[in-house]
Amino acid sequence: MKQYYRVADLIVEMDTFGRTLKQAEPYLIPEEKESDIRIFSVWDDLREIQPQLSDDDCEYLTTGASFYYQLANFDGLLLHSSAVIMDGKAYLFSAPCGTGKSTHTSLWIKAFGEDRVQLLNDDKPALRCIDGKWYAYGTPWSGKYDKNVNARAPLAGICVLRRGEVNKIEPYGGFSAVHALLEQTTRLKTPDYMEKMLELLDKLITAVPVWRMECNMELDAARLSHRVMSGESEK
């Protein structure tokens, strides 16, 4: 059945099933006349290419891909990262799979408590630029464990993580920062889309502080990234 959702302040029309239907439930809204994004289910196409995946996983992956692809039409993009909200601001930790994004944000929750830190989206937060300001959003597509909240917060910083013995954080810029972020977003083979992606990345990196951090799995890692990214160390 076709239903309407509000995701990243956009009206989304989707007819889905299984895990996707369940994870999207908190985003349900009453029927609307028009929608910004229409998601057509193509899970069976993916299933043909990747027969090892379940119908449910195919649905989840293709609906997510369709959403994030269309997000570009609304000055938005996906950044593969674990995102938290703390004191009303969003902080994103990005890295290739297996680096420990979720571990780092779970350290934030441990260090500062669940009433101060909320896990916004553990894998695929949506980012949007609205009137020159960047916001991070929870979405129904948030990785294996469905960890997301239907909320938004102004984006205060993005940190690219790498594992290390000693905790160290520094501003990140130039080509390697652009490269690191482009690797963690949606990439398509069409020139128009990539043109738009680069335009959005340019806006994002210009407006939002980007950091690079080497971190271990101690609570001190969370304390350090929070102190630097929130600007507390300057006070």
Partner 1 sequence: MKLKSGFVLREVAGSCVVVPTGAELDFNGMISLNETGKTIWNCLENDTDVDAVIAVILSEYDTDEATARTAVEGFIEKLRKHGFLEE
* 190 Cβ neighbours under 8 A, 6+ residues apart: none
Q: State the CB neighbour count (10 A cutoff) for residue 22.
A: 13
Q: Which C-beta is closer to partner 1: that of 30 or that of 191? A: 191
- Residue 177 binds to partner 1 (criterion: CB under 8 A): yes
Shortest distance (Å) from residue 160 CB to partner 1: 14
Please report how the helices 191-207 and 174-183 are oriented relative to each other, as an axis angle in degrees rounded to 10: 120
- Residues near partner 1 (CB under 8 A), total: 20
Produce one character per residue of 54-83: b if its CB has 16 or more CB atoms within 10 Å, e if not. eeebbbbbbbbbbbbbbbbebbbbbbbbbb
Shortest distance (Å) from residue 202 CB to partner 1: 4
**With 0-12 CB in 10 A as exposed, 13-18 as middle and 19+ as buried, what is 44?**
exposed
- Using CB under 8 A, which of the segments 44-52, 109-117, 131-139, 173-181 binds partner 1? 173-181
Place of tokens 């909200």: 85
Shortest distance (Å) from residue 212 CB to partner 1: 14
| Token duo for residue 33 | 């006349």
Give me the 189-218 binding string for partner 1, x by CB under 8 A, dash otherwise: xxx-xxx--xx-xx--xx------------
CA atoms within 13 Å, Cβ hemisphere of 75:
13
- Residue 182 binds to partner 1 (criterion: CB under 8 A): yes
| Token duo for residue 213 | 């951090």
Q: What is the CA radius of gyration of the chain?
A: 18
- Residue 178 binds to partner 1 (criterion: CB under 8 A): yes
- Residue 98 binds to partner 1 (criterion: CB under 8 A): no
Q: Which C-beta is closer to partner 1: that of 131 or that of 175? A: 175
Q: Which C-beta is closer to partner 1: that of 16 or that of 184? A: 184
Give me the 12-51 binding string for partner 1, x by CB under 8 A, dash otherwise: ----------------------------------------
Which parts of this chain interact with partner 1 (CB under 8 A)?
Answer: 173-175, 177-179, 182, 188-191, 193-195, 198-199, 201-202, 205-206
